[in-house]
Structure 1
Amino acid sequence: MAGERDERDAEHGLISGEEKVVVGGTQHGSGRRLGKSIHPVFYIAAWIFLSNTTILFNGWLIGNRGFKYPATLTCWHLIFATFATQVLARTTSLLDERKTVKMTGKVYVRAIVPIGLLYSASLVCSNMVYLYLSVAFIQMLKSASPVIVLLTAWAWRVEKPSLKRFINVTVIVFGVGLASAGEINFSFIGFLFQLGGTTAEAMRLIMIQILLSDEGQKMDPLVSLYYFAPVCALMNIFIAGAAEAPTFDFADIAKVGYGLLLLNAAVAFLLNVSSIFLIGKTSGLVMTLTGIFKSILLVLLSVLIWNTSISALQFIGYGIAMAGLTYYSLGWEQIVALTNGFTSWLMTVFGSHGAETTLC
């Protein structure tokens, strides 16, 4: 039962936006084979650090360094990912599972191309939104990602509608609505970009589940990136050319710095790699819990770094959305078990501390 729940959590897109890598089927392989002696806490900390660093890095380049070309930035990330996966495939064993994938022309056109286009749209929208909304508010809106994925799954009849889940979804939507209403610098265009990116990501996840499963394909995240990145990069070249070429100034690249842009792409790629190791070493459930904590931490970092103003209504709405998301991700029994376990741990720690104090 636990394994089934972990797979369902991963398929439902509980990892949102930029920080979610391409997932296509059962998680196994590369990450599970490597680094067996390293404690899981290391993988959790690495993923939190790289995920938040990528988001803050992108927001800083677009909002503060004047690189107002989100489509071009996304294109650069995908070109780097294409090159990096090709190098890894030829120099390491991380992508050996690609040899077991039955990649035919039919599968590529039917599955890889449309899924790659949706992934591309998701990434572009995720970067475009930084032009209009604060990092903190973007994270609040991302709380609704599982809602969009679930509704999309119902629409495609991948899952059967459930009244219990519908009520849970309604609570999350209500919380996100309050956060939106309380946003001081609200932008409707930015909101639409975030909604578009989330919807594209939801459709991509469902198509992966339907198309790749129908074809009997099982790919870990890095192998999926190996196939999707070239399609996404090509698509983004056209998008960036149509949307940003007329206003693009090469002087802005020099102004930002070639080294900084290279570092940005490398961090974004390392995020994908860290996700593989985290999933392989732990589970989708652990990644869900980590994602909830990471989102809260990112909001706090945004407030500290950019002095983002958060209204009381926005804070309450975000709290409701996060509570609903936690319940959706874990279920009541799991929440109670984790709470009891944490309470027991605290009692053990403070009990031991008290005993040491008495002996002294």
Structure 2
Amino acid sequence: MLPTANPAAAQHSSLHPAFYIIIWITLSSGVIVFNKWILHTAGFAYPLFLTTWHLIFATVMTQLMARYTKMLDSRHNVPMTRAVYFQAIVPIGVFFSLSLICGNLAYLHLSVSFVQMLKATNSVATLLATWVLGVAPVRIDVLAKVSIIVIGVIVASIGEINFSLIGFIYQFSATIFESVRLVMVQRLLSSADFKMDPLVSLYYFAPACMVMNTVATLFFEVPRMSVEDLRSIGLSTLLANASVAFALNVAVVFLVSKTSALVMTLSGVLKDIILVIASLVIFHDPVTMTQVVGYTVALLGLLYYKLGDKVFADVAIKVRQHIPKSSTRRWTLPATLLVIVLIFLLWYSGTASTYFEELNVGH
């Protein structure tokens, strides 16, 4: 997702921010679970084709929305020229495509739960990319903070039962490509003239990504695809999948205008945990206690890095004093849910581990 230009957009809606958070979590989790089901469970092992299909759908929908709605009118404020498009948008699109492709390839070899654990390092990779590309100065204190995330992910990786090196490499590559893309976007958006919300960004990036992915799909996947493959998955399934993916981009536009950075951070962590639990329930992915401990450490490190010392101190003070302020209530709900799902994850991982041990003994 790309940053929005209007985080302080009008907040006159009668709907509670929690509504937008729930919609975003549902769609974000739904896209990942849906993709995993298509690529792995349904046996449609064509990640390039699926990514290209999403981009074709997004290109068509953003063009229609630009023509018949006002949701993309802010694009008129962006001084997009042919030179800017090919020098800035296309390179970003290349990394965007590579990130999507490698991310989907990872789901062919790794469980949803383990992929989510690995994704905890996205912030670390982005931070390192800003240092390598000279966007931000190197800070040892920040490096110490993010090292907590790395340690947690390493522990979670050690505890993975069905570890796949090729899947790990795909996900690691997706993380690298995504971090470089985000830094390039940061550079582009550093100019006030190029502020774009996620939908406008998709309007510009989707066509370029679509062309690149189409070429790759024609070379690597189409030769081994058959009509039966498409018939088995069904056009209705592909349409539903692309619709959910596109709806997520629309939901992000509303989410960033209705919530604060703190709430979005907590909601993002909550979403990741829900995805791990969904993977356990839907795909019966085994999660060990070692992974739970490692992932918990990584998530706490992620929160510490994103929220900072001051916010953590403020939260601790408010909890001790039991101050019922509106600002406190905003993060109380997601934080409470975070604790509940962590407890459930610990309990479920224990029962799941026992189940798989008994299953192995039975065989």
TM over 0.5: yes
The equivalent position to 2:307 in structure 1, one of 298, 309, 330, is 330
8 Å CA contact 1:28, 1:220 repeated in 2:
no
The equivalent position to 1:139 in structure 2, one of 100, 104, 116, is 116
Q: Secondary structure at the match of 1:198?
A: helix
Q: Which residue of 2 aligns with 1:6?
A: none
Q: Secondary structure at the match of 2:299?
A: helix
Taking a change above 3 Å as real, the CA distance of residues 35 and 230 of structure 1, as seen in their structure-2 partners, is: farther
Q: Which residue of 1 aligns with 2:241?
A: 264
- Residues 272-326 of structure 1: CA deviation (Å, up to 9, x unaligned): 1101110011133322211101001111111111221112222211111111001
- Residues 5-55 of structure 1: CA deviation (Å, up to 9, x unaligned): xxxxxxxxxxxxxxxx233x63348xx358622211111000000000011
Q: Which residue of 2 aligns with 1:72?
A: 49
Taking a change above 3 Å as real, the CA distance of residues 249 and 115 of structure 1, as seen in their structure-2 partners, is: same
Q: Which residue of 2 aligns with 1:85?
A: 62
- Residues 188-220 of structure 1: CA deviation (Å, up to 9, x unaligned): 111111111111111111111223435841111
Q: C-alpha separation between the residues in 1 aligned to 2:247 and 2:12? A: 16
Whichever residue aligns with residue 294 of structure 2, its letter is G
Q: Which residue of 1 aligns with 2:133?
A: 156
The equivalent position to 2:6 in structure 1, one of 27, 32, 35, is 27
1:1-360 to 2 correspondences below 5 Å: 21-23=1-3, 26-28=5-7, 32-33=9-10, 36-214=13-191, 216-341=193-318, 344=322
- Residues 138-159 of structure 1: CA deviation (Å, up to 9, x unaligned): 0000000000000000111111
Aligned residues: 326
8 Å CA contact 1:107, 1:215 repeated in 2:
no
8 Å CA contact 2:77, 2:193 repeated in 1:
no
Q: C-alpha separation between the residues in 2 aligned to 1:218 and 1:248? A: 40
Whichever residue aligns with residue 93 of structure 2, its letter is G
8 Å CA contact 1:101, 1:217 repeated in 2:
yes
- Residues 76-123 of structure 1: CA deviation (Å, up to 9, x unaligned): 000000000011111111100001110111110111100111111111
TM (norm. structure 1) is 0.86
Q: C-alpha separation between the residues in 2 aligned to 1:214 and 1:36? A: 30
8 Å CA contact 1:111, 1:212 repeated in 2:
no
Single out whichever of 89-98 and 208-217 deviates more from structure 2. Answer: 208-217
Q: CA RMSD in A?
A: 2.1
Which of 1 and 2 has higher RCO (CA within 8 Å, sep 6+)? 1
Q: C-alpha separation between the residues in 2 aligned to 1:269 and 1:54? A: 9
8 Å CA contact 1:63, 1:130 repeated in 2:
yes
Q: C-alpha separation between the residues in 2 aligned to 1:41 and 1:314? A: 29
Q: Secondary structure at the match of 2:291?
A: helix
Whichever residue aligns with residue 296 of structure 1, its letter is I
TM (norm. structure 2) is 0.85
Q: Percent identity?
A: 46
